Structure 1
Amino acid sequence: MIRRIVLSSLLAAAPLFAQADPAADYAENCATCHGADRLGGTGPALIPETLGRVKGIDRVIAEGRVSTQMAGFADTLDGTRIAALVDYVTAPLAQSPDWRPDDVAASREMNADYQPAEAPVFDADPMNITLVVETGDHHVSVLDGDTFEVLDRFATPFAVHGGPKFSPDGRFVFIMSRDGWVQKYDIWSLQEVGRIRAGLNSRNIAISRDGKWLAVANYLPASLTILDSSDLSPAKVIDVLARDKTPSRVSAVYQAPSRDSFILALKDAPEIWEVATSPDAGPFHDGFVHSYEVGMKEALGAEQGLFARRRIVIDEPVDDFFFSPDYSELIGANRDGNKGVVVNLDVGRIIAELPLPGLPHLGSGITWERDGRRVMASPHLGEGVLSVIDMQDWTLVKQIKTDGPGFFLRSHDASPYLWADVFFGPNRDRMHVIDKETLEIVRTLAPFPGQTFAHAEFTRDGSHVLVSLWEDDGAVVVYDARTLEEVKRLPMRKPSGKYNVWNKITFEDGTSH
């Protein structure tokens, strides 16, 4: 509403708009927090690459943002000047911003007050801790997975994105924000260890099987930043260039534990990369036979193949992907969202195509055993279906009709059900519970009419399910996974994703990567 009023006033007062000086207004009111170069400081970067999905920027400038340091400027800036400032911060920079290894290293901030504990400072099972990301005021709550007591609530960087990653022993968690900050938190001590800015606009993070290395996939600059997880120091910044030397953003990066590697897809080029996280990584070992025509090994690290890269060329870029349980195959979707492809990572080529129209969201895909065969399921962002695929012959088993497009799936080996939200559209207040054998919806939960109800997560033993009321005045709702009855409700500030330590570090069936 404010935006429409502002735009209307511009038409009636063009001379006044001409007098606006957004550069001066930015320097006076914004630069202290967001940086003179608009690349961020205590506040996020204000550039198109990071503001692309932010709505109501004019309202934020006028009114501020609740539970942050962002103050409102309605008393000092009129509608015309705010509109000009919106245009200013959403315009591309004169020169594409860069963020080199020295910049990454200089941004590192370690907590001088951090004291590592010799044992957990709480009585809860450290393997049954669940982290809840609260996007309403940029915090994470640490929950006891048995009592659902909040053990700690700590501030995170602005706009957490991509899912936290845990060290293999479950003690540390690494959290990334859209504007490239990576935070390390000690769950045992309930303390932040430190943080570093690995990029300017980042997609997600992955941790190596041994826990030594943390990879950060960046849109801006087009790079893969590898951090030493022990102290967050940068170990390697790899410029992501396609075979024709064209820079490319990274769609996402994931750990492939059985391969001792990171797998990433290039968003702007038809390539998949595999980066070794160990000198003895299988695909880079001397005994590994490359049986594909375009395969190549290119050393990027000096330590016997550490961070060596293997490049797999495919037909078109992959935007969204996940893996078979043994990580021999990558299942991905192209940017048009009209099909899926299966890439065998051992032979380095596409071995199958999948009928997955309607923008499949493979990053939330899960797998399980059904009738003695491994199947996978994926929601679709463009239509109300879940696609179930047989992973032995890659045929479509069934498309389950839902009440609208979904975003997240979750299950557990101990549960007969998978939980699928309806994230988009008028039925976003619904959560489907689906029988994994019959593939039929057995119950639809809708405890909050008209409000977003999404993202299920199981406890370690699969006995309970946590679901988010994804609203600013929201809650985490705990269900008995067997009876599907509500057990507890915890008030939260726009809770989004929830992540159980055990399920994530053991790659529990039904947990996305």
Structure 2
Amino acid sequence: MMPSKYLRATGDLGVLIERATGQVKIVNHSNNTALSEIDGLGDLSHASIVFSRDERYAYVFGRDGGLTKVDLLTDKIAKRVIQSGNSIGGAISQDGKLVAVSNYTPGGVKIFNSETLELVAEIPASVLTAKPKNKDGSPVRSKVVGLVDAPGHKFVFSLFDSHEIWVADMSGPELKLTKHEDIGLFPYDALMSPDGRYYIAGLFGEDGMAMLDLWHPEKGVSRILKDYGKGDKKLPVYKMPHLEGWAMTQDFAFVPAVGQHKVLVVDLKTWQQVAEIDVHGQPIFVMAQPDNRQIWVNFAYPLNDTIEVYNTETFEQVKSLKPGPAVLHMEFTPRGENVWMSVRDNNEVQIYDTQTQELLSTMKAKSPSGIFFTSRAHQIGL
């Protein structure tokens, strides 16, 4: 039997993406320490992570089509497969038995057994008939974005080029696929509400958003926030905001505006905008603390050295911070006492007290980007 001094719990672990070197760092957020560094994960320039339900394994989705299963207890890669030419994220099923990956090339979704990484199902995206075929003679298919898990052992995702939202139901012995067409031009990203009811896709090709109510899928996809987007002014957009970073409190959603120095406040009962908050730059992530008391906002280049904190009742600014150049990502500890943020161009992660907004400690990391804690294993749509 292994001596107790070698035992490691998983509830306070996390994984940092070191994007420039194809490495990840395993960390502990109870004592703010780095435990190990693992390399050989390929192109992590747009990497994301989901966790097994027992929190032992991290599934890393790389831009090079790599799906890597990392063992947080042994600090090793348990399994790695190259499943496509270009992928853009993934999700894990409600029961933790399936891992799905969304792909640009070839366009579609692949679903794997989470234990073995053996292929379980393949869902080719819609063929783009107006485009010439690939060099190998195969048809060009739509890129897939915004893949999330949903209750009922489902995966939901958007098809960028063919303007669709599909729902893959994996609850039965065979895959059941539902397709919603003409949902709006070029859905570029999407989010799932924390309760798993609403799937919302942002539209790159027109203003507005597309929303699917998974409690009433028979009603199809509706349009909300008709003015959300780039608008008629065609402002320069330095980076499209990440919709997964929406902050949803009990009454409101706080939404990053596109190309504007604003955070929009949306009433969740009516899905109408009711206010807007003037902020430092073009917001990328607008994230709520677990207690929903404050939102933390980061910004696109060239104003990406700043974080602003706002009160969710009064919409007033609480604090403005200058962590350093290229603050890319934030992650709250499970009960929200601290927030970690990656400061890529300083090659460090900074850890703040959310009540005082004071810097507690820093951690060296190589071009850090995404920060993911194992508490995500128990949240829908993350």
The number of aligned residues is 359
Tell me which residue corresponds to 2:109: 224
Query: Distance between the aligned counterparts of 2:6 and 2:295, measured in 1?
Result: 31
Mapped pair 1:268 → 2:137: no
Residues of 2 paired with 1:337 and 1:162: CA distance? 27
Q: Distance in 2 between matches of 1:396 and 1:458?
A: 26
Alignment partner, residue 248 of structure 2: 367
- 8 Å CA contact 2:85, 2:106 repeated in 1: yes
1:435 and 2:311 matched: yes
- 1:237 offset after TM fit, Å? 2.1
User: Among 173, 176, 187, which residue is 1:308 paired with?
Assistant: 176
- The correspondence for 2:36, drawn from 139, 152, 162, is 152
Q: Given the alignment of the two structures, is residue 239 of structure 1 paired with residue 133 of structure 2, yes or no? A: no
For 1:497, the aligned partner's letter is G
Contact 2:197 2:213 in 1 (8 A): yes
Report SS of the residue matched to 2:249: strand
Deviations 1:161-196 (A, max 9, x none): 342010112111100111101100111222210100
Q: Distance in 1 between matches of 2:160 and 2:301?
A: 24
Relative contact order, higher structure (CA 8 A, sep 6+): 2
2:377 aligns with 505
* CA deviation after TM superposition for structure 1 residue 479, in Å: 0.8
Residues 1:388 and 2:261 aligned together? no
Q: Provide the rounded CA distance (Å) in 2 between the counterparts of 1:329 and 1:314.
A: 18
Deviations 1:123-159 (Å, cap 9, x if unpaired)?
Answer: 6641121211111322111111111111111112222
Offset at residue 348 of structure 1 (A):
4.3
SS in 2 for 1:194: strand
Per the alignment, do residues 393 and 381 of structure 1 end up closer, same or farther by CA in structure 2, a change over 3 Å counting?
A: closer
Name the SS of the counterpart of 1:505 in structure 2. Answer: helix
> Partner of 1:259: helix, strand, or coil?
coil
* TM-score, normalization by structure 1: 0.66
Aligned to 1:253: 147
- Tell me, which stretches of 5 or more residues in structure 2 are unaligned? 130-138, 231-239
1:344 lines up with 2:213 in the alignment: yes
Q: 1:227 to 1:459 in 2, by over 3 A?
A: same
Q: Deviations over 1:210-241 (max 9, x none)?
A: 11111111111122111111111112222212
Q: Is the 8 A contact 1:431 1:454 kept in 2?
A: no
Instruction: Give the equivalent residue in structure 2 for 1:484.
Output: 357
Q: Which has the higher strand share?
A: 2
User: After the TM superposition, which residues 177-188 of structure 1 pair with which residues of structure 2 at under 5 Å, given as runs?
Assistant: 177-188=62-73
Tell me if 1:495 matches 2:373: no
Shift of 1:329: 2.0
Deviations 1:348-397 (A, max 9, x none): 4233420312355323223111xxx2x22222342221122112111112
Q: Tell me, yes or no, if the aligned pair for 1:119 and 1:188 is still in contact at 8 Å.
A: no
Q: Which of residues 293, 302, 308 in structure 2 aligns to 1:416? A: 293
Q: Higher helix proportion, which one?
A: 1
Say what the alpha-carbon RMSD is for the aligned residues.
2.4
1:445 maps to what in 2? 321
- The sequence identity of aligned pairs, in percent, is 23
Separation in 1, partners of 2:202, 2:43? 29
Aligned partner letter, 1:445? L
The answer to whether the 8 A contact 2:323-2:343 is kept is no
Q: Distance in 2 between matches of 1:460 and 1:343?
A: 28
Q: Which has the larger radius of gyration?
A: 1
CA distance in 2 between counterparts of 1:408 and 1:122 reads 38
Change (3 A) 1:486 1:154: same
Question: Residues 318, 190 of structure 1: CA spacing in aligned structure 2 closer, same or farther, 3 A cutoff?
Answer: same
TM-score (norm 2): 0.87
Partner of 2:171, secondary structure, is coil
Question: Matches of 1:241 and 1:379 in 2, distance apart?
Answer: 30
1:17-166 aligned within 5 A: 125-155=9-39, 156-166=41-51
Change over 3 Å in CA distance of 1:126–1:119 after alignment to 2 = farther
- Tell me what 1:326 maps to: 195
